[in-house]
Structure 1
Amino acid sequence: MEYPGNLFVVAAPSGAGKSSLVKALLELDAKLAVSVSHTSRAPRGQEQHGREYWFITAEEFRAKVEHGDFFEWAEVHGNLYGTSRAGIEKRLADGEDVVLEIDYQGALQIKQLFPHAVLIFILPPSWEELMQRLNRRGDTAPEVIAQRMANARVEVAQAQHFDFVVVNAVFDTAVFDLKTIVHAQRLKYAAQRRNRSTVFRALDLP
């Protein structure tokens, strides 16, 4: 089913700056709505229930999987993450543009369900910089960082399946690139036909 709203899916290896970029994009674009995912992991830092994630137990998560509540779900770094089916469908049906911040496994699942979804992969400028960013967090054990670096090589290999790749070397430039992708999607024929329907009717186009 094709919905009137656009669905943007952003994925990246841990430490590439995905969350910060999406947050900045949302601050610049009032027409974008973020979909809050469910996760079985514990909150970090200042994260709040219902803002960054819906934090639930692994048992609650698996019950939702059994009920078919998720569009997609995956286990990432030992934790479960999933995207609510009802929340996404309603927003897209209402004509809202929605951005999902998920891992590559979920992004590829979403593409199967929504062929018109726009997949965006965030790359770090280098492996050395990615390692430094993970170390700067200061709350991750060395063995966890090593595992995330190993996972990152698998994740980056999946970028070939995405529509766009944004390199987060200079933060402001990467935010501009994201906003450009969103704007370009809104200018496509199908979107303009929906949003400027009176003009097309006046021209008597089929």
Structure 2
Amino acid sequence: MGSTGKYFKYSRTFRAFLSTTVRRHNITPKMNEDLCYLSLLSKVQDLFITSISRSKIRELNPKDVAIIREVYDSENAHEAFGDELERALEAGCEIIIIEPSRLGDETARWISVGNCLHKTAALSGIATIVTGLVWPDKPFTYTPLGIVSFFCTGIYDISWQFDPCCQYQVNKKTDILAKLPVYSNLTSSSPVVLIRKSDFRRKLLHTCITLASTLFCVWKLYIVYNK
């Protein structure tokens, strides 16, 4: 189905939710237009977004889902779990379900490291520009922030972006797991679910912010020390 077909498909879904919400919550045309709009928006938005996510899951090929089973059949079971996870990451599976709790926690923490680098680089870069505008004659307030942003971006772009985990995020929506076609075959009640998401936009965002904050620092320092 092309992009146009998907658009009309989701439009029909949205209209169906819209009419259902109007009947369920007794929203009539006599109501104030603004109140009607706000009521519809708050009631329908989450339902509509959830329906799109679920439709994508239903269309997912079972071959794109990798499950790391918690089966201890040897003394080196933990190493086998890690090797299986690496193969799934390198294969680029859309969804990876990790049943072993130890491996799942370690993977989730490792992914959080990359997220922390991204957020720290972006936020410290923005803080650099803000503090530089507020206190232009005090380079000790914004220069350290600029260094932190440059350092975090450097680590992310030089090291983290080549890790296969950078393309995955931990899923925190429990209802999505229940909609997977392999859910009934899981042996763990609380597995860690990884969903493949491109990090191109994140890299572009923090790289642009860091570049801007670095140039801003250099410009401000040049002005301060050449007065």
Scaled by the length of structure 2, the TM-score of the pair is: 0.25
Whichever structure has more strand as a proportion of its residues is 1
Whichever structure has more helix as a proportion of its residues is 2
| Bigger Rg over Cα | 2
